[in-house]
Structure 1
Amino acid sequence: MKFKDKVVVITGATTGIGKATREYLTREGGIVFNLDIQKPAVDDTPGEFIRCDVRNKQEIKDSLAAVVAKENRIDMLFANAGIHLFATMEQTSDDELDNLIDINIKGTFHTVREVLPYMKAQRKGSIVLMGSDQTFTGKASSSVYGLTKGAIGQLTKSTAIDYAPFNIRVNCICPGTIDTPLLHKAVTHFSTVNSVDEAGVYESMNTIQPLGRIGQPEEIAAVVAFLLSDDNSFMTGSLVSADGGYICQ
């Protein structure tokens, strides 16, 4: 098994892409820790759950310390936790702006910053950050979400340069539109704010993808697993699209 006995931390792994990745890596022998504010369902057992709100720096620090106390190391990190918002600038409240920045940017930054000393001591590590197709391109009604994902792209590249001497690789997965609870919540918000039918929103999302459909979490999990693994040992600082061809149009 490719990830046998590898210690992996995933933030936001209770649902969506994080959950699919947690399940994938566990099947491949990984020792996976899920740092999330929402506990998985009782019958959803792969991996170990640690309650952690990535908006809280101390909770991140304590959670990672707990992983190291139990396993003595952290081999891999998937900084996945994030939220979405369909809204123009005028439709975005100050609270929504702050929350997106606190989770998508600051949460990612603080998680990576806290894990780096452990990986430096090991002289090895692999990190994947959660980007988006909006790391590359703009979309309507997505100004603040796009802002946060553009920032993640730059954070990936600069961190990859800084920590390459320590044999720590940092890459970024950039999914397109994926069938997750996060997407469903965003579509409901967009439909309510703009008084449009949800079914029509989903149909438009399908038709604008060159592959003719939105993606599934398991498809992204497979790419994340590749980026975390030693199979891509000469990749760092890469922004990797997995978007059904959306940004190549």
Structure 2
Amino acid sequence: MNWNKRIAIITGAGSGIGKATKNLLRSKGCVVYNLDVNDLDETDGSYFIACNVRNRHEVNDAVDKVVAAEQKIDFLFSNAGVHLFATLEQTSDEELQHVLGVNVLGTYYLLQKVIPVMKAQNKGSIVLMGSDQSFVGKAASSVYGMTKGAIAQLTKSTAIDYAAFNIRVNCICPGTINTPLLHKAVEHYSNISHTAKDEIYKSLDTVQPMGRIGKPEEIAATVAFLLSDESSFTTGSLIAVDGGYVCQ
């Protein structure tokens, strides 16, 4: 397909999967706006818009800026997210509100603002950030898993509601991926369990049937496919990219 001058919004594109997807789409000629809390990537320039997705007003203002500049939005990748390694008893109210605010409300606010733009165009493609925990449970991950289960259902319902407007909504569900988010989680687990980080990484490699963790670029390639016209008959789908983890 011709990506040239197509307009995309990616949240949290300063690092990790978001950055890899941003770089891939830009290499194809797509104009990509990064909505993030911090300008982590000096290549973004005027295509960076400071935005905390937990704040509805900031989301609305950021999307308005993109529409004012470009008059359309072709693609949305709602990628911004946070992780929490904790049981229910270990989770504070503040942590609960933070994870729900970023992972669920942030995605919801984006959809509420972007969908009307795409409806007016009668076309659009959206990818939401799920997880292997959109399919399965993991220990000490009740709140994070809850948010990713919610994203899975939000994907399906939104896909049904807006199929008549030629808007497709799919959910990418990565497994364990080599990103700053993973490294932060490993460091946290190492501190609370007194386990060496090298040992944790070795154990993570063995969990997947493919025997390794994934690369951000591997997720980006699948996101690009889901956004593109090549997946024109795909909507409401949860796509696992996890080295075979959830098929066990």
TM-score relative to the length of structure 2:
0.97
Q: How does 1:23-38 map to 2 (within 5 A)?
A: 23-38=23-38
Q: How does 1:42-53 map to 2 (within 5 A)?
A: 42=42, 44-45=43-44, 48-53=47-52
* Equivalent residue, structure 2, for 1:18: 18
- How big is each residue's C-alpha offset from its partner over 1:22-80, in whole Å with a ceiling of 9 and x where there is no partner? 000000000100000010233x3488100000010000000000000000000110000
**Conserved 8 A contact 2:34-2:44:** no
Q: Say which SS state the counterpart of residue 33 (structure 2) adopts.
A: strand
Q: Say which SS state the counterpart of residue 236 (structure 1) adopts.
A: coil
Q: Does 1:222 align with 2:210?
A: no
**Conserved 8 A contact 1:17-1:221:** yes
Residue identity matched to 1:23: N
* Alpha-carbon shift at residue 191 of structure 1 (Å): 1.8
- How big is each residue's C-alpha offset from its partner over 1:94-121, in whole Å with a ceiling of 9 and x where there is no partner? 2111100000000001111110000000
* Alpha-carbon shift at residue 2 of structure 1 (Å): 3.6
* Equivalent residue, structure 2, for 1:203: 202
CA distance in 2, matches of 1:39, 1:81: 14
CA distance in 2, matches of 1:148, 1:72: 32
- How big is each residue's C-alpha offset from its partner over 1:109-165, in whole Å with a ceiling of 9 and x where there is no partner? 111111000000000000000000000001111111100000000000000000001
CA distance in 2, matches of 1:92, 1:186: 15
Residue identity matched to 1:174: C
* Equivalent residue, structure 1, for 2:6: 6
CA RMSD of aligned residues (A): 1.2
Report % sequence identity: 60
Unaligned runs of 5+ residues in structure 1 are: none
**Conserved 8 A contact 1:26-1:47:** no
Q: Provide closer, same or farther for how the CA distance between residues 47 and 138 of structure 1 changes in structure 2, counting only shifts above 3 A.
A: farther
* Alpha-carbon shift at residue 193 of structure 1 (Å): 2.1
Q: Provide closer, same or farther for how the CA distance between residues 97 and 87 of structure 1 changes in structure 2, counting only shifts above 3 A.
A: same
Residue identity matched to 2:100: I
Q: Say which SS state the counterpart of residue 235 (structure 1) adopts.
A: coil
**Conserved 8 A contact 2:131-2:175:** yes
Q: How does 1:62-211 map to 2 (within 5 A)?
A: 62-211=61-210
* Alpha-carbon shift at residue 199 of structure 1 (Å): 1.6
CA distance in 2, matches of 1:214, 1:231: 27
**Conserved 8 A contact 1:13-1:80:** yes
Higher deviation after alignment, 45-54 or 153-162: 45-54
* Equivalent residue, structure 2, for 1:39: 39
Equivalent pairs counted in the alignment come to: 248
**Conserved 8 A contact 1:86-1:187:** no
CA distance in 2, matches of 1:171, 1:46: 29
4+ residue runs over 4 A deviation: none
Q: Say which SS state the counterpart of residue 234 (structure 2) adopts.
A: coil
Q: Provide closer, same or farther for how the CA distance between residues 138 and 47 of structure 1 changes in structure 2, counting only shifts above 3 A.
A: farther
**Conserved 8 A contact 1:206-1:212:** yes
CA distance in 1, matches of 2:216, 2:122: 31
